[in-house]
C-alpha cells in the first residue's frame, strides 16, 4: 500500500481498523477528538460499532463488556479522561481482558491545558488504578511508528490477555506525517474460549475480578505478576542512537525523543560524545538497553515533557553507577533544542556554543 499523508489521530483509527478492531467506545476530549470522529465515520463501513458513551467511565466499562464478549475493542481519551477510566482499567486488568487504550496526553494536573505533555508516565506505567497490575505500554515517536505499534497491539493484548496502552501526546495526535499500513507479523493466539458468547454446548463462562478468599486472590496476583515478568523478559523495545562511544547518554521517548535526536546530532557536530536511548516500550521499561552501554558512559540526561517521571525508571536501570540528570518542561511546553544543549554541555563540563 502506498504512503499517505495522515493526521496522527486519524491514523490511530485506521491502524486499529486494519488490525481487526471493530468496536470503539469513547467520549469527546481535546486533543484526541479526531480519533472518535474518524471511527464514527469508518467503523460502520466495516460493519463495526462506534458508540459515543455518556462519560469516560461508561466508555471504559463498555470496553470491558465488549472485551469480555470476545471482541477486538478500543477506546481513546486524553489525560483527565484517562483518570476517569482508571477504575475500569483496573477491572479489565484484574479480569484479564484484552483491549487497546489510547492516551493522547495533555498538560495537567486537574483540567490542565490542551497542549502536549508527558506527565501521565507514572499513571500509565505504574498501574494507574487500584491494585497490583500493569498495562503493556508503547510510546511511539512518529505517526508511522504509532500505526505500526497499534497494529501489533491487539495481538499483544490477546496474547497476554492484558490491556495495552499507546501513550502519545498532543503533538503526535495533531501532526500530519506520511504513513503506510503494513501487515505486522502475527502472533500465535489461543482461541478466546473464555469469552461470554452464550453457553451453548459448554459450561458458562464468567468474567470477573472478585475473589473473596484471600489465598485465591493472592494466587491470582501471582499469575498476573508472572505475566508482567514475562513481558519484562521478552518484550522490551528501544532504539539506541549513537551510543557506541557516548560519554553522555540522553534518555527520551515520544515527541521529546525526536527533539533530543537532533540535539545529539548538533552536539556530535561540535565533537561532544552524546547518544540517545529511546524507550519504545515504557512498560516493560527497556532496562536491557542500559546494560548494553559501553564503558565510555559517564552520565545520563533524561529529557521529558514532565516534572520528572521516567527519570525514576532511568535511575533504577542505572542503579547508582553514574549520575542521572534531568531536564524537563511542563504545562504543554515542548523543550527547545537550545535549552537541552545548554544542560548537556554543562554536564559535560563545557560551555554551550
Binding site for another protein (CB under 8 A): 23, 25, 49, 51, 53-55, 57-59, 61-71, 73, 87-88, 91, 95, 196-201, 204-210
Rounded to a whole number of angstroms, the minimum distance from the CB of residue 233 to another protein is 31
Cis bond leading into 281, ω under 30°?
no
Q: Is 149:140 a contact under the CB 8 Å cutoff?
A: yes
Closer by beta carbon to another protein, 202 or else 234? 202
Q: Which three cell numbers stand for residue 147?
A: 500505526
According to DSSP, the residues that pair with 168 across neighbouring strands are 104
Rounded to a whole number of angstroms, the minimum distance from the CB of residue 41 to another protein is 18
Rounded to a whole number of angstroms, the minimum distance from the CB of residue 124 to another protein is 20
Which residues, 6 or more positions from 90, have their beta carbon under 8 angstroms from its beta carbon? 127, 128, 129, 130, 131, 133, 209
Rounded to a whole number of angstroms, the minimum distance from the CB of residue 216 to another protein is 14
Closer by beta carbon to another protein, 51 or else 333? 51
Nearest residue to 333 (alpha-carbon basis) of 39, 171, 117: 117
**Tell me, what DSSP letter sits at residue 336?**
P
Closer by beta carbon to another protein, 94 or else 140? 94
Rounded to a whole number of angstroms, the minimum distance from the CB of residue 59 to another protein is 8
Rounded to a whole number of angstroms, the minimum distance from the CB of residue 82 to another protein is 16
Rounded to a whole number of angstroms, the minimum distance from the CB of residue 21 to another protein is 12
**Tell me, what DSSP letter sits at residue 45?**
G
Rounded to a whole number of angstroms, the minimum distance from the CB of residue 126 to another protein is 21
d(CA 221, CA 190): 22
Per DSSP (E only), the strands in 145-205 are 163-169, 176-179
Nearest residue to 36 (alpha-carbon basis) of 21, 46, 50: 50
Closer by beta carbon to another protein, 57 or else 114? 57
β-strands 176-179, 4-7 pairing: antiparallel
Q: Which three cell numbers stand for residue 107?
A: 498538560
Which residues, 6 or more positions from 270, have their beta carbon under 8 angstroms from its beta carbon? 353
Q: Measured in whole angstroms, how far is the alpha carbon of residue 300 from the centre of its chain?
A: 23
What φ, ψ does residue 34 adopt, rounded to 5°?
A: -65, -20
Closer by beta carbon to another protein, 10 or else 56? 56
Closer by beta carbon to another protein, 67 or else 314? 67
Rounded to a whole number of angstroms, the minimum distance from the CB of residue 23 to another protein is 6
**Tell me, what DSSP letter sits at residue 233?**
H
How is 60-72 classified by DSSP, letter by letter?
Answer: HHHHHHHHHTT--
Closer by beta carbon to another protein, 1 or else 199? 199
Alpha-carbon dihedral angle through residues 294, 297, 300, 301, given to the nearest 10 degrees? -100
Closer by beta carbon to another protein, 87 or else 312? 87
Closer by beta carbon to another protein, 204 or else 349? 204
Amino acid at each position: 500500500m502506498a504512503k499517505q499523508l495522515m493526521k496522527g489521530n486519524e491514523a490511530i483509527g485506521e491502524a486499529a481498523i486494519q488490525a481487526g478492531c471493530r468496536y470503539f467506545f469513547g467520549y469527546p476530549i481535546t486533543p484526541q477528538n479526531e480519533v472518535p470522529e474518524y471511527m464514527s465515520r469508518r467503523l460502520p463501513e466495516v460493519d463495526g460499532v462506534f458508540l459515543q458513551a455518556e462519560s469516560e467511565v461508561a466508555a471504559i466499562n463498555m470496553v470491558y463488556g465488549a472485551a469480555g464478549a470476545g471482541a477486538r475493542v478500543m477506546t481513546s481519551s486524553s489525560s483527565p479522561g484517562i483518570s476517569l477510566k482508571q477504575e475500569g482499567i483496573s477491572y479489565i486488568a484484574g479480569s484479564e481482558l484484552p483491549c487497546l487504550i489510547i492516551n493522547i496526553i495533555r498538560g495537567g494536573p486537574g483540567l490542565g491545558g490542551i497542549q502536549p505533555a508527558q506527565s501521565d508516565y507514572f499513571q500509565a506505567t505504574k498501574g494507574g488504578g487500584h491494585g497490583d497490575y500493569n498495562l503493556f505500554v508503547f510510546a511511539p515517536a512518529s505517526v508511522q511508528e504509532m500505526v505500526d505499534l497499534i497494529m501489533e497491539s491487539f495481538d499483544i493484548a490477546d496474547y497476554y490477555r492484558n490491556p495495552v496502552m499507546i501513550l502519545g501526546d498532543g503533538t503526535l495526535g495533531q501532526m500530519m506525517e506520511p504513513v503506510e499500513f503494513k501487515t505486522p507479523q502475527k502472533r500465535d493466539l489461543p482461541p478466546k474460549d473464555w469469552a461470554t458468547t452464550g453457553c451453548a454446548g459448554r459450561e458458562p463462562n464468567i468474567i470477573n475480578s472478585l475473589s473473596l478468599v484471600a489465598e485465591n486472590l493472592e494466587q491470582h496476583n501471582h499469575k498476573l505478576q508472572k505475566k508482567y515478568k514475562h513481558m519484562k523478559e521478552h518484550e522490551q523495545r528501544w532504539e539506541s542512537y549513537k551510543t557506541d562511544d557516548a560519554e553522555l547518554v540522553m534518555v527520551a521517548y515520544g515527541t521529546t525523543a525526536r527533539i533530543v535526536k537532533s540535539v545529539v546530532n548538533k552536539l556530535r557536530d561540535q565533537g561532544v560524545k552524546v547518544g540517545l536511548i529511546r524507550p519504545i516500550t515504557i512498560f516493560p521499561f527497556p532496562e536491557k538497553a542500559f546494560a548494553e552501554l559501553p564503558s565510555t558512559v559517564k552520565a545520563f540526561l533524561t529529557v521529558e515533557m514532565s516534572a520528572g517521571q521516567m527519570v525514576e525508571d532511568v535511575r533504577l536501570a542505572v542503579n547508582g553507577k553514574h549520575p542521572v540528570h534531568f531536564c524537563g518542561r511542563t504545562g504543554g511546553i515542548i523543550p527547545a533544542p537550545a535549552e537541552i544543549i545548554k544542560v548537556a554541555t554543562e554536564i559535560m563540563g563545557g560551555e554551550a556554543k
